[in-house]
Amino acid sequence: MDSVLRVEGLEKTYGDVKAVQGLTFEVAPGEVLGLVGPNGAGKTSTLRCLAGILPPSAGQVWVAGHDLSRAPVDAKRALAFLPDEPRFFEYLTVWEHLNFTARLYGVEDWEARGRALLEEMELSGKEKSLPGELSRGMKQKLSIACGFLHSPKLILLDEPLTGLDPIGIRRMKASLRRRAEEGAALVLSSHLLPLVEELCHRLLVIAGGKAMALGSLEDIRARLSGADAAQASLEELFVRITSAGAPPP
């Protein structure tokens, strides 16, 4: 099956700093790819390049078959980017944010979908609230509701569980799993390794902007040398890969 996201030789530099260096990977429909790495590894820069927010310094990105640099509008119409710090227009209400999103993506049945999403995100009754009146977790949920409204083929998530309470976390995990089962490809960046281990089919471990390991947890375990590698937890693997370095995938 054709991949929803294809990345070839992605690079991003800020002045002299190379934040992302030569990333190459694909994500298939229904697949959840976990993007893990230490602070400053280049995860957020990678996600922002994939979302078309930052222009890559080199490399190519295809989203649902559309070249992000040549057909950015078609590519962006197929994706949703959910940042760790949700940004809203503080003068639009919750319902108006959904209306705004619906027009941008041409979602004709947005009202029914919007109501269902607000229900799913436990935001029913908050339709007339302004973002400034929402808690941190509610803002995160609104961001997710807006992102899911147009049923994107690719969902890019940067620390999606930040600010959610335990019930919200459980619902969110179920929601993400359901989107993947419905055929969406997910790229999920998080420091919460148990979440990554639970949800992701494959992992991309990056450090210093470079891919240190790519594959399923079992693949990575198998690739790492060492007597106890086979039984190592993701946390142990993460520490070993990012601190000592590992052969590139």
Partner 1 sequence: MSFPGAVAFLWAASWRNRARLQLKRLRKPRYLLGLLVGAAYLYSVFIRRMDFRGPAGGMSEGMRLFAELSLVGSAMGTLFAAWVLGRDRPSLTFSETEVIQLFPAPVARRALLQYKLARGLMGTSLGALFATLFLGRSLSPHPVLFFVGACLALGTLYLHSTAASFVRTRLAERGTWGRVVRCGAVAAVLGLAALAVLGSLREHPVPVDLTSGRALRAWLQSMMDSPGVGAVLWPGRLLVAPALARSVREFFMALPPVLVLLAAHYVWVLLAEVPFEETAVARAEARSRERVLRASGRMTRVGAMTLSRPPFRLLARGRPEVAILWKNLIARKRLGGGFAVFLVFIVLGGAIAAVMGDTRMFTDTRRVLGPVALTLAVTLTVVGPSAFRMDLRMDLPKLDLLRALPLTGQQVVRAQLAASGLVVAAFQLALLAVALLLGPGVEASRLGDWWWPGGLALALLLPAISLAGLFVQNAAVVLFPAWVPADIGERARGLEAMGQRLLALVGTLVVTLVGLMPAGLVALVVGLPLSAFLGPWSLPVAALAAAGVLVGEVALGVMALGRAFERLDLSEERPA
Residues that bind partner 1 (CB under 8 A): 14-15, 48, 51-55, 72-74, 76-77, 81, 83, 87-93, 96, 99-100, 102-108, 110, 128, 130, 132-133
Which CB, 3 or 45, lies closer to partner 1? Answer: 45
Instruction: Collect all residues with Cβ–Cβ distance below 8 Å to 83 and sequence separation of at least 6.
Output: 143, 158
Cβ–Cβ under 8 Å, residues 190 and 34:
yes
In the complex, minimum distance from the CB of residue 214 to partner 1, in angstroms, rounded to a whole number: 25
Which CB, 92 or 229, lies closer to partner 1? Answer: 92
In the complex, minimum distance from the CB of residue 147 to partner 1, in angstroms, rounded to a whole number: 9
Nearest to 196 by CA among 154, 146, 238: 238
Q: Which residues pair with 88 in a beta bridge?
A: none
Which CB, 95 or 229, lies closer to partner 1? Answer: 95
Which CB, 157 or 203, lies closer to partner 1? Answer: 157
Our measurement of the distance from residue 226's CA atom to the centroid of its chain's CA atoms, rounded to an integer in Å, reads 31
Q: Round to whole Å and give the CA distance between 249 and 10.
A: 15
Which CB, 89 or 165, lies closer to partner 1? Answer: 89
Which CB, 134 or 237, lies closer to partner 1? Answer: 134
In the complex, minimum distance from the CB of residue 81 to partner 1, in angstroms, rounded to a whole number: 5
Distances (CA, A) of 28 to 33, 60, 162, 180, 183: 9, 17, 26, 10, 9
Burial of 70 (0-12, 13-18, 19+ CB in 10 A): exposed
In the complex, minimum distance from the CB of residue 106 to partner 1, in angstroms, rounded to a whole number: 6
Q: In this structure, what token pair is assigned to residue 153? A: 């083929």
Q: Round to whole Å and give the CA distance between 96 and 129.
A: 10
In the complex, minimum distance from the CB of residue 43 to partner 1, in angstroms, rounded to a whole number: 15
Which CB, 149 or 206, lies closer to partner 1? Answer: 149
Distances (CA, A) of 64 to 20, 60, 74, 149, 246: 22, 13, 9, 18, 31
In the complex, minimum distance from the CB of residue 168 to partner 1, in angstroms, rounded to a whole number: 22
Per-residue b or e along 128-156, where b marks 16 or more CB atoms closer than 10 Å to that residue's CB: eebbeebeebbbbbbbbbbbbbbebbbbb
In the complex, minimum distance from the CB of residue 174 to partner 1, in angstroms, rounded to a whole number: 25
